[in-house]
Structure 1
């Protein structure tokens, strides 16, 4: 297996794309595009990507805009789901692969669902790892409150950019967020999710703008329209008791015409961290079916 990374320009943003390519195995001809979740990066897919590549699949795992080593949007910019969809479309144009399997975790699953619904002719298979959208937010009742929260958050953005005191602080904070994940895995993920800035200070790699409240309510009804437009075989993977599920999960799954649900009881929400072997095995079975 060969591994490298490269920058690809997508809609004016440089995206860092981690590539895992089969070396000794017979190439399958299928390219698997892995989309990470919120405050994560493409690099943390490595323990899932490697067995996929060893099985003969080309694997691409981009750092989405504002995450990992990809560009931040800069002054006056913000992050919307449509931006991520546009970036995925640009990546598909750039790599010109004929057979694409799209895999998304959490936020990345939402992006993958939007892509598969909007571009059904460009996707061959879809896998969603607890990625069925977020909680419904009715614009009529929450729109004003969300906008006010966003304005407050934007006023505090300077304070959210403080550096980390040490690498140990990063590990401790990540461990508090994911208490069920072994310390060694947390430590290795912390190395992938932090960066040293030009002044030598350690920071989270993601853009602090991601920690602000989005001013745009999430409409489950609109999202279900995208799910109904998905025509390819779809796999939904849940992580058991420690997972994160939307209350109307069954309704959303029912919108997808050809979907299989697999539960990994002990994997939790961060299943690609906690149970990468089980996730990879699940994906390999799906891709081979």
Structure 2
């Protein structure tokens, strides 16, 4: 995999690509991950142009300007700007977690640009009940306010990679080798020889509003392309039951259950990649 870069109106969107010349397969990673979490699937797409992106604020991509924040629909706009800028048609999107949610929204809103999607440990948008609206807005706005006493000119936070890897493994089901791949791409060197985060700390602020179940249904019913959904036996997402409740919202879908946790595609990329590639070739 080699570096790739696309200039959007907001800044540079970076990622990793296999440099192929076939149809476009676009990889969208999960929350607080980056392109490194999807690079493992590249061997399955050797006959395609596989591009794993760093979403804005993640990995090596640009940060949104001061005063801006990170909302799901803004990511969808970024994806569409990228697709238009490159003149892509019939894009197949592989998304993990947040990336799978974005793939489903994009496929519904701009169906003419998407040939199909593969959603890894995600089955459409996350939802909350309408009566949580006020609570959501309150939590979101408070999370975005500058902390009292914060010095905007303060030195960047020093990151110890080994400590960050250990913390990630303790709080998630990510394996050490996989956490290392992801976090190595989420840090950058300082002149001192130390490292700081390259990802934007504003990613940890609360979402403004989650969609309701009715809105999620509307989105999923408007997906016209074939949808592959992969769930994990030990993931907190419990996708098998989620898919069972939402299957009727999709026109053409396939569900496969794999062993492992939330990053099961990194544990067995051969099996996951082969399943997705077979799905693409049978569409």
TM-score if structure 2 supplies the norm length? Answer: 0.88
Distance 1:278 1:146 in 2: 39
Pair 1:288-2:278 in alignment: no
1:1-289 matched pairs, under 5 angstroms: 3-22=1-20, 29-53=22-46, 56-139=47-130, 141-155=131-145, 158=150, 163-179=157-173, 181=175, 183-197=176-190, 200-245=193-238, 248-264=242-258, 266-289=259-282
Question: Cα distance, 1:87 vs. partner?
Answer: 1.1
Structure 2 SS opposite 1:235: strand
Distance 1:198 1:147 in 2: 40
The answer to whether the 8 Å contact 2:108/2:220 transfers is: yes
Runs of 4+, deviation exceeding 4 Å: 156-159, 197-201
5+ unaligned residues in a row in structure 1: which ranges?
Answer: none
Structure 1 SS opposite 2:261: coil
Distance 1:231 1:138 in 2: 26
Distance 1:14 1:253 in 2: 37
Q: How many residues align?
A: 276
Q: Which moved more, 1:111-120 or 1:168-177?
A: 168-177
Question: Cα distance, 1:11 vs. partner?
Answer: 3.5
Distance 1:69 1:154 in 2: 23
In structure 2, the CA distance between the partners of 1:216 and 1:230, relative to structure 1 (3 Å rule), is same
Q: What is the root-mean-square deviation of aligned Cα atoms in Å?
A: 2.3
Structure 2 SS opposite 1:90: helix
Question: Cα distance, 1:162 vs. partner?
Answer: 6.5
Report Cα offsets for 1:230-256 as digits up to 9, x if no partner: 111111110112351366442323201
